[in-house]
Amino acid sequence: MPKALVVGGGVAGPAVAALLTRIGWEAPVFEARTAPDPFEGLFLNVAVNGRRVLRTLGWEDRLLADAHPAAEMVMWSGRGKQLGVVPNGPAGRPDDGGVVVRRSWLHEVIRDGAEDAGVTVSYGRRLVDVRETGEGVLARFDDGSEEHGDVVVGADGVGSAVRRQVAPEVVPAFSGLLGSGGFARVPGLAPTPGRQHFVFGTRSFFGYLVRADGTVFWFANLTADEPPAAGIATSTDWLARLRELHADDPAPVPQILDATAGPITVYPIFRLPRVEPWWRGRAVLVGDAVHATSPSAGQGASMALEDAIVLASSLRADPDPAVAFTAYEDARRARAEALVAYAAGIDKQKRVARSRVAIAMRDLMLPIFLRKAGSDRRTDWIFDYDVPWVR
């Protein structure tokens, strides 16, 4: 039985392991964290293209049991003027809208699904090094353990250790934005069924939705020229800073921040515009490890799921690593790079305009651009990607 060592137990790793198991591979997953963390991460959008992969795997219904359908995105200026409504999915097809879920819930659904398929997920196994032996790969972990396999799949995120072996010179690019967010309950704030709201605040970008039970999911994107030297930071000072930055923004933005209990985490957002190569010898990269994108397009998890199904299909068509990895890269590279570039374009709009004139121009022009968004088919390519999987 061929064996793939899957490094990373986030989104792409367990999904690719489950699919490989279905086609007769052994595909153990090795995860650096010591245990699943139910509070890790905030929340994210799973778009219809990602939902389609989950449907193929038989995991979509469980995910939807605790999801906020958000087929529409409502844009607001910092003065409280509605700028437009944009579909969070293909134009004119609200049933194909994205859903927002806690990141930990997505992880749980994918991890449980993989384990049900027979995948073993080992925690506390941080890959430090992988090398080729004559006929396979040898992976070494920080607990001193080693594993042998036929191939290694790097599903270990934007800071990928596998990528250091495949494409050592690649350095993630800073997006110019810091991300943060949290959860709150604001008395009297009505649920926002089917919708997320986005506010071009005067000093920081803000997004929120209110679930049926009244829980508010919110995030902020702060403009920054450089990533903070400290990297990811968790503190109550950041919450105070956000309250200050959003103090003049329209309701309910200040109220949401006032109702949030600190501390909060702030992290620099990185992207990988182009990784060259995507694979080397018997090692191949998937998900954020090879095309990390800012969350602005709501596609990070969905693209990771697409990679999983394309890679597994390629290995099923031909288990020879060079043949399968070439087919996988040919199928995925152009789309992934286009998506990262698309998200980078949204990042530019989210960065706070430096002058009152620029803000006034944006608030004047955006409604004109957004007026036709409901029927604009130019982003359908993002959502209509479908990978057939013959059971």
Ligand X SMILES: Cc1cc2nc3c(=O)[nH]c(=O)nc-3n(C[C@H](O)[C@H](O)[C@H](O)COP(=O)(O)OP(=O)(O)OC[C@H]3O[C@@H](n4cnc5c(N)ncnc54)[C@H](O)[C@@H]3O)c2cc1C
Binding site for ligand X (CB under 6 A): 7-13, 30-33, 40-44, 103, 126-127, 155-157, 161, 287-289, 295, 300-301, 304
Asked whether 295 and 44 are in contact (CB, 8 A), the reply is yes
The burial class, CB within 10 Å (0-12 / 13-18 / 19+), for 99 is buried
**The one-letter amino acid at 28:** P
CB of 361 to ligand X, least distance (A): 29
Q: Which is nearer to ligand X, 7 or 77 (CB)?
A: 7
Which of 150, 153, 171 is CA-nearest to residue 162? 153
Q: What is the DSSP letter of 3?
A: B
CB of 367 to ligand X, least distance (A): 26
CB of 153 to ligand X, least distance (A): 10
Q: Which is nearer to ligand X, 324 or 339 (CB)?
A: 339
- Cβ neighbors of 254 (< 8 A, separation 6 or more) are 243, 246, 247
CB of 248 to ligand X, least distance (A): 26
Q: Which is nearer to ligand X, 113 or 300 (CB)?
A: 300
Q: How many residues does the chain have?
A: 391
Q: Which is nearer to ligand X, 11 or 253 (CB)?
A: 11
Q: Which is nearer to ligand X, 44 or 71 (CB)?
A: 44
Preceding peptide of 388 cis, ω within 30°:
no
CB of 204 to ligand X, least distance (A): 16
- CA distances, 28 to each of 178, 280, 290 (Å): 34, 20, 20
End-to-end CA distance of the chain: 19
CB of 58 to ligand X, least distance (A): 19
CB of 381 to ligand X, least distance (A): 19
Question: Is residue 327 classed as helix, strand or coil in its secondary structure?
Answer: helix
CB of 275 to ligand X, least distance (A): 13
Q: Which is nearer to ligand X, 77 or 101 (CB)?
A: 101
Q: What is the CA radius of gyration of the chain?
A: 21
CB of 9 to ligand X, least distance (A): 5
The Cα–Cα gap between 198 and 182 comes to: 15
Burial 300-333 (b: 16+ CB within 10 A, else e): bbbbbbbbbbbbbbbbbeebebeebbebbbebbb
Q: Which is nearer to ligand X, 77 or 102 (CB)?
A: 102
- Cβ neighbors of 330 (< 8 A, separation 6 or more) are none
Q: Which is nearer to ligand X, 72 or 156 (CB)?
A: 156
Pairing of strands 72-77, 195-200: parallel
Q: Which is nearer to ligand X, 29 or 77 (CB)?
A: 29
Tokens of 141: 């972990």
Q: What are phi and psi of 45, to 5 degrees?
A: -90, 130
